Each structure stands twice: as C-alpha cells, then as structure tokens.
Amino acid sequence: MDDIAYRRAAARVEARLAFYRHAMIYAVANALLAAVNLLKNPEHLWFPWVIFGWGIGLFAHGLNVYAYRWMGSRREQMIQRELERQERSRQSPPS
C-alpha cells in the first residue's frame, strides 16, 4: 500500500473518530445541562440556546469531516495543480 494513501486514510479515520467523540460529548453534556436547567429553574429555559449554539459548532465539524465526499475530487484537482505549480517553480531558474 502506498504510504501517502495510507496516511490520508488514517487521517480521515482520525477525523471521523474525533467527530464521533464530539457528537457523543455533545449529547451527554447537553442532556446533563437540560436536566440541571429543568430541575433547578424550569421557569427559565436556557439549555436550548446551548444546544443551538453548540449544535452549530457540531454541524461545522461534521461538514469539515464529511465534505470531502462531495468536494473530494475538486480538492484532489487543486492539490495536483499546486504540486505542478511547485514543480515548475523548482525547475525554472531564478530571475
């Protein structure tokens, strides 16, 4: 197996695992915050704001992890162009 391909795959797996940890912490922490809010001060519900705000961050994290499925080929094209540009700049003599 190609070493670069292996490292890319390992990085993607690590990113997915980090997202799963984030989602689990989100669920547990928000359940606890909701329980505290409902037990201590049920007249004033503040926990939905926490869920909403943190949910935006979780959504962004998910996009960052899974967007390569939709934009992966475009990303690979950009990487290839950048590698070609770097190779050309190495081959051309300084002016």
State CA 14 to chain mean position distance: 10
pLDDT level of residue 91 (50, 70, 90 thresholds): confident
Question: Against a cut of 0.75, is the pTM above it?
Answer: no
Choose the weakest-confidence range: 17-21, 46-50, 68-72, 85-89: 68-72
Which carries the bigger pLDDT value, residue 37 or residue 71? Answer: 37
What is the DSSP code string of 45-73? --HHHHHHHHHHHHHHHHHHHHTHHHHHH
Which carries the bigger pLDDT value, residue 37 or residue 84? Answer: 37
